[in-house]
Structure 1
Amino acid sequence: MKIMLDAGHGYNTPGKRSPDGLREYEFNRAVANYARDLFRNYENVTVYFAHSDDRDVPLQERTNRANSLNVDAYVSIHANAFGSGGWTSPSGIETYVYPSRPPVAYQLAQKIQRNLVVETGLPDRGIKTADFHVLRETKMDAVLAECGFLTSKNDIKLLRSEEYRKTVAEAIVKAVADQFNLKRSSNPPPPNTSGLYKVQAGAFQEKKNADDLGAKLRSDGYTPYVYQDNGLYKVQVGAFEKKQNANSLVSKLRSDGYETFIYLD
């Protein structure tokens, strides 16, 4: 069984954030990471990511990769939004399939929707159809889950919570396992606990841009370092064993006007 997890958008995608600054991608990628780890508990399952922490991967590239890998299921993870930028009232969970309602994809959407509503306690907004690229251009069964509203003062508290992100991942994995009759491994690998929470302030094609950002950070009293990874020059400001320490640094950086995000490496 090959599964493509798609954390929607990228950490620098314009507009994809809550009124108080939570980037949608931060939530999406965290759920994808937790789901990948949970899938390690099942036999003969390979998980691929459609997204990247380095850039906002174009939709065509995401679906092309899924098709070329011939994956069996494509699950796109998102957080919803309503209105033009401020806090609004809509709240809850909704799951999308392509308008033709492919039978297996629709069944998977039903299971994901049901699990998410039961496990999160958020309102059930139902299963909907949409001509989204990731649903239209994928050759395999594909669904897109909207796991709460960035523009809801109620939902945003949950979307920021690591416990909620784990709950969402568990609900999605449980639905996929049920739909495709995945068998639990009798000897699952241990969870990956060796990573650090790293704070990244930028990623650039040109080294000069990374160096300029590093110099600005140093002038503001931070200790960044610039390194090259996968063809990009990245600016990292800290690495921590505890996420709350990374969160504290991010809060300070954002108060100083820097756009940053946390990733687990």
Structure 2
Amino acid sequence: MKLYLDPGHGGSDPGATGNGLQEKTITLDIAIRIRDILLSNYHNVSVRMSRTADSTKSLAQRTNEANNWDADYFLSIHCNAFNGSAYGYEDFIHNSLSDQSITARYQTIIHEEVSKVNQLRNRGKKKANFHVLRESHMPALLTENGFIDHSGDAEKLRDPSWRQNVAQGHVYGLARAFQLQLKDNTPDPSPSNFFKVIAGSFRQRNNAEERVNLLSDENTEAIIVPVTISGQQWYRVQSGAFRNRDNANARVLQLQELGIEAFIITE
């Protein structure tokens, strides 16, 4: 699999700014981590990056390079901004594509894997007419990893361990989408080993939505995960997925302080 990996912005273009952070720095850090994990742990992967330093590069240069290299996939890493009020994770494919396209299927897989680990509000899968999505000849995805001008998201963006988890989430998605094989003696990084914190389980989706909204008001991320139990539909509210159980326990305590009973699952 030939991956063209595009850290958004760079050089004279800082991208979004906020809370003492610049998008161009965050995106480069996450992209380098994605590259290093892929090359260290998986067979038959080639990665070409649009930039590996704080350099200026036009959008046309990026897509032309990917097209001329005949990449299999174009992945563009970004952060978002919107007057400090919006927060969370979202990703985009081109708006001309159907939900049944291979690009949309790849988006679904990567969206699922990144959302499992990023501890951000899930803003959903979206479509747009961005240059890198329109002009790339191969399937392409642009991910927006939090809002840099939102204090809660920025706190995570500033944390190197969080950026490592987000990079790993992208890699999980790429590995699933392209059926990448782990190198010998590389531990299986299956997300099934995560400790997931459940902050409620409801028969009615609107009740789950109320719980998510309550947590959002407290700057605590949460997503709704539909599950079928004994033939009945339930809506779990998941507030984070952690590799370290101590971190999951800390989230449970945080929720209990808000008056919300929570528990951990590892399925």
TM-score normalised by the chain length of structure 2? 0.66
8 Å contact kept, 1:79–1:146 = yes
- Say whether 1:5 aligns with 2:5: yes
Distance in structure 2 (CA, Å) of the matches to 1:79 and 1:68 = 27
Code of the residue aligned with 2:51 in structure 1: it is H
Distance in structure 2 (CA, Å) of the matches to 1:54 and 1:160 = 18
Distance in structure 2 (CA, Å) of the matches to 1:169 and 1:108 = 16
Cα displacement (A) at 1:100: 2.1
Cα displacement (A) at 1:12: 3.5
Cα displacement (A) at 1:186: 1.3
Code of the residue aligned with 1:44 in structure 2: it is N
Query: Which residue in 2 is equivalent to 1:57?
Result: 57
Query: Which residue in 2 is equivalent to 1:150?
Result: 148
Closer, same or farther in 2 for the Cα pair 1:185/1:14, shift >3 Å?
Answer: closer
| Identical aligned residues as a percent | 37
8 Å contact kept, 1:150–1:156 = yes
- Say whether 1:104 aligns with 2:102: yes
Cα displacement (A) at 1:168: 0.8
Closer, same or farther in 2 for the Cα pair 1:24/1:97, shift >3 Å?
Answer: same
Distance in structure 1 (CA, Å) of the matches to 2:12 and 2:156 = 22
Structure 1: unaligned runs, 5 residues or longer: 189-265
Code of the residue aligned with 1:92 in structure 2: it is G
Code of the residue aligned with 1:161 in structure 2: it is D
8 Å contact kept, 2:16–2:79 = no
Query: Which residue in 2 is equivalent to 1:73?
Result: 73
Distance in structure 1 (CA, Å) of the matches to 2:176 and 2:24 = 27
Aligned residues: 183
8 Å contact kept, 2:93–2:128 = yes
- Say whether 1:94 aligns with 2:90: yes
- Say whether 1:132 aligns with 2:130: yes
Distance in structure 1 (CA, Å) of the matches to 2:152 and 2:112 = 20
Residues 61-109 of structure 1 show CA distances to partners (whole Å, capped at 9, x for unaligned) of 00000000001001000011103xxxx2211110100012261221121
Cα displacement (A) at 1:55: 2.0
TM-score normalised by the chain length of structure 1? 0.66
Runs of 4+ in 1 over 3 A off after TM superposition: none
Residues 23-55 of structure 1 show CA distances to partners (whole Å, capped at 9, x for unaligned) of 101110111111111111111100000124252
- Say whether 1:21 aligns with 2:17: no
Closer, same or farther in 2 for the Cα pair 1:56/1:82, shift >3 Å?
Answer: same
